[in-house]
């Protein structure tokens, strides 16, 4: 019997501990992946540092982690798209409600993944490249294409080749933003985005036509000027504090739908311990205040803002469109790239904590990856 190990989060605020985990069995529509590369996300860091403030439903000990790439070593009875030995990447949804929490977590050697949230890796693609994609591309697709979000037309369905409508992606150099740019371009939209100056060329390489510095006091005016009266089909706000300027662009351009990926206030300053603290109270007050002000502003303008949740596509038509329909062909053809670039922090599950600590220190257009 093959043995498994996981980087366990044993209790709120604890460091990850590597020790044995059950070897998982796939359900009918699931596969087991021998992970070769996993990536860390802000939500893993936030879960570890805020205890049960987020994902309060997750039992301990917990296996976090959303991004996995590796080889298929087991297939459920109803699986049709994969065989043992296939190189795949997948969105591990163990943290979500209703999941088999430990078996479906990413921070372990063997993960159970849903067939519907996995895709084959093209020949020549490295595991560490594929591991940057799952949560970020799923969140971007949920935001852009779900009917309750921006409801944009899907890639490959553009009626004309002329991209006359604009999508604004605030925070293009984030993992979510880098995927949103590419997906919106693939769906036939002109993309205007923001990023730090050192990443402007990267944004253009992904297909954005205009890039502005999100820290510039003229960023909102610059975007409105670049839009130049064209129809803005939707806006996606990624990055702490991105909601307010993105809504300002919507107000100025007459756009009616804004999708929000990030809270208005950062969780970074919270102490990594339980119980009330001055920082927690301050954060709560600022969060509620910012949200009320934003919603009031949108209400009077008829602008609909919605927070996106990256896993919602697993229950609607966007999941199959992305994971079975779009990604395999677009990656194989080189029309879609794994972005941002991976930065391998270490090898082995012991490096998961290092990667999370490094993420807390900040990244720029890169995804922190651990190889296994």
For the beta carbon of residue 293, count every other beta carbon within 10 angstroms.
13
Give the nearest distance from C-beta 28 to ligand NAP in angstroms: 27
Is there binding between residue 14 and ligand NAP (CB under 6 A)?
no
DSSP state of 314: G
Query: Hey, which residues between 38 and 77 contact ligand NAP (CB under 6 A)?
Result: 41-43
DSSP 230: -
Which ranges of 210-362 does DSSP label H, i.e. alpha helix?
Answer: 219-227, 243-253, 278-301, 318-320, 327-332, 351-360
Which residues, numbered 231-250, are part of the site for ligand NAP (CB under 6 A)?
238-242
The label of the residue with tokens 């460091």 reads 15
| Closer CB to ligand NAP, 152 or 163, in the complex | 152
∠359-42-124 over CA atoms, to 5°? 75
Select 158 or 219, whichever has its Cβ closest to ligand NAP.
219
Which residues ranging from 138 to 167 are in contact with ligand NAP (CB under 6 A)? 139
Among residues 173, 190, 259, 339, which is the contact residue for ligand NAP, using CB under 6 A?
Answer: 173
Q: Collapse the DSSP code of 313 into the 3-class scheme (helix H, G, I; strand E, B; otherwise coil) and give the result.
A: helix
Per the DSSP assignment, residues forming a β-bridge with 173 are: none
Interface residue with ligand NAP among 27, 61, 196, 346 (CB under 6 A) is 196
Q: Which stretch binds ligand NAP (CB under 6 A): 18-26, 132-140, 224-232, 283-291?
A: 132-140
C-beta closer to ligand NAP: residue 163 or 224 = 224
Shorter beta-carbon distance to ligand NAP: residue 26 or 94 = 94
Q: Which is nearer to ligand NAP, 181 or 308 (CB)?
A: 308
User: Cα-Cα-Cα-Cα dihedral of 10, 12, 140, 227, to 10°?
Assistant: -150
Which tokens sit at 317?
Answer: 């038509």
What single DSSP character describes residue 15? P
For ligand NAP, the closer CB: 231 or 272 = 272
- Minimum CB separation of residue 363 from ligand NAP in Å reads 5
Give the dihedral sign, CA 311/240/227/208.
negative
Mention every residue, 6+ apart, whose C-beta is less than 8 A from residue 275: none
Minimum gap (Å) between residue 20 Cβ and ligand NAP: 30
Q: Which is nearer to ligand NAP, 70 or 340 (CB)?
A: 340
Counting contacts by CB under 6 A, is residue 283 touching ligand NAP?
no
Q: Which is nearest to 366 in space by CA: 333, 335, 343?
A: 343
Measured from the CB atom, the residue of 134 and 188 that comes closer to ligand NAP is 134
Q: Which stretch binds ligand NAP (CB under 6 A): 6-14, 69-77, 121-129, 361-369?
A: 361-369
* Conformational region of residue 360, where left means phi above 0, alpha means psi within -120 to 50, and beta covers everything else: alpha
Instruction: Kindly state the smallest distance separating residue 72's Cβ from ligand NAP, in Å.
Output: 25
Q: Which of 83, 100, 98 is nearest to 33 (CA)?
A: 83
- Binding residues for ligand NAP, rule: CB under 6 A, are 41-43, 135-136, 139, 170-171, 173-176, 194-196, 199, 214, 238-242, 261-262, 308-310, 363-365
């Amino acid at each position: 019997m093959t043995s498994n190990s996981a980087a366990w989060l044993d209790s709120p605020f604890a460091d990850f501990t590597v020790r044995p985990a059950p070897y998982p069995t796939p359900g009918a529509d699931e596969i087991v992946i021998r992970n070769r590369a996993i990536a860390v996300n802000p939500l893993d860091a936030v879960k570890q540092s805020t205890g049960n403030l987020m994902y309060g439903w997750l039992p301990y000990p917990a296996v976090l982690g959303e991004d996995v790439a590796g080889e298929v070593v087991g297939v459920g009875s109803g699986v049709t798209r994969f065989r043992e030995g296939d190189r795949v990447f997948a969105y591990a949804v163990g943290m979500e409600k209703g999941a088999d929490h430990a078996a479906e977590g990413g921070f372990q050697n063997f993960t159970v993944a849903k067939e519907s949230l996995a895709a084959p890796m093209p020949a020549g693609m490295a595991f560490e490249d594929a591991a940057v994609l799952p949560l970020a591309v799923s969140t971007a697709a949920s935001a852009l294409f779900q009917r309750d979000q921006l409801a944009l037309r899907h890639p490959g369905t553009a009626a004309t080749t002329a991209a006359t409508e604009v999508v604004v992606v605030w925070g293009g150099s984030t993992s979510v933003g880098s995927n949103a740019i590419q997906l919106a371009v693939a769906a036939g939209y002109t993309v205007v985005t923001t990023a730090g100056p050192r990443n402007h060329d990267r944004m253009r390489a992904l297909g954005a036509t205009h890039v502005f510095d999100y820290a510039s006091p003229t960023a909102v005016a610059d975007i409105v000027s670049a839009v130049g009266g064209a129809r803005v089909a939707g806006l996606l706000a990624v990055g702490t504090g991105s909601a307010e300027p993105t809504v300002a662009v919507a107000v100025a351009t007459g756009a009616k739908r804004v999708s929000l990926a990030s809270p208005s206030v950062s969780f970074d300053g919270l102490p990594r311990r339980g119980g009330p603290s001055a920082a927690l109270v301050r954060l709560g007050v600022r969060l509620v205040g910012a949200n009320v002000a934003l919603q009031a502003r949108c209400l009077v303008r008829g602008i609909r803002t919605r927070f996106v949740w990256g896993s919602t596509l697993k229950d609607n038509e966007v999941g199959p469109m992305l994971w079975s329909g779009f990604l395999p062909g677009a990656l194989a053809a080189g029309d879609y790239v794994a972005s941002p670039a991976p930065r391998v922090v270490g090898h082995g599950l012991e490096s998961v904590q290092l990667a999370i600590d490094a993420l807390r220190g900040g990244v720029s257009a890169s995804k922190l990856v651990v190889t296994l």
